[in-house]
Structure 1
């Protein structure tokens, strides 16, 4: 299982945002994608932040009380996103996800450019496939 890499299970076409996007537009993208958040990219496709559902809820709640919204993604995004490497082991990521809060990590190259994202569901899929394959290969010798 140590040989199973993030690159084997990541989503290459995640929902992404830019820093100047209005929060309402970002919320629409999140709702349409089904993702719980996504990386914020600059013009060079580098990850400069992360926007989560929780970030959006806080800002949308505030906008509801004020009956207006003028917020953009850069106002609420996490400016210190944690990226993972495509060569990281699924086991490493699973361990991080079991202890840390993020449900989704941007996967970046060495220059910080986005390759994709890996979610808890992707990690569970990797475990499920590994266990299923192990079970099937064990039954062949019975």
Structure 2
């Protein structure tokens, strides 16, 4: 059992991601299909440029019903203020960040800003449990 406290050992690396050009309705369908509350939006270089969430999806539905059209893109509705953490942080450093924000998960990026994974509060709790057994 690996007892390292680096977040790389506990983060999820297989993520649903969106592109800015993706149709917002298709993104909503993916949120529902994969039972997730949001997903990172990546540019062509793999850098995270936003988050598309359930709330953004609701804005899509309300806006399209008001204007009687469906055609918004993910880039039109995504949140562009994204709080990320670096892959070299420890579990305790990320735990501190969770305690000082309302976020339930953070996208994890490498030194070049490319998305490499995601760490959640639950992942941190599992890591602490694992580390305490040693």
TM-score normalised per structure 1 = 0.81
Unpaired runs of 5+ residues, structure 2, are: none
Which residue is equivalent to 1:59?
60
Which residue is equivalent to 2:106?
105
Between structure 1 and structure 2, the one with the greater Rg is 1
Unpaired runs of 5+ residues, structure 1, are: 135-142
Q: Which runs of 4+ in 1 moved over 6 A?
A: none
Q: Deviations over 1:93-128 (max 9, x none)?
A: 222223312222111111111111112221222123
Contact 1:16–1:38, Cα closer than 8 Å, also in 2: yes
Which residue is equivalent to 1:33?
34
Change (3 A) 1:99 1:53: farther
Which residue is equivalent to 2:119?
118
Q: Deviations over 1:35-72 (max 9, x none)?
A: 22121111111111111222222222332344432211
CA distance in structure 1 between the aligned counterparts of 2:68 and 2:130, rounded to whole angstroms: 48
Change (3 A) 1:28 1:6: same
Which residue is equivalent to 1:83?
84
How far did residue 75 of structure 1 move? 0.8
- Report how many aligned residue pairs link the two structures: 131
Question: Is the counterpart of residue 74 in structure 1 residue 75 in structure 2?
Answer: yes
How far did residue 31 of structure 1 move? 1.8
Q: Identify, as 1 or 2, the structure richer in helix.
A: 1
Which residue is equivalent to 2:10?
9
TM-score normalised per structure 2 = 0.85
Contact 2:25–2:60, Cα closer than 8 Å, also in 1: no
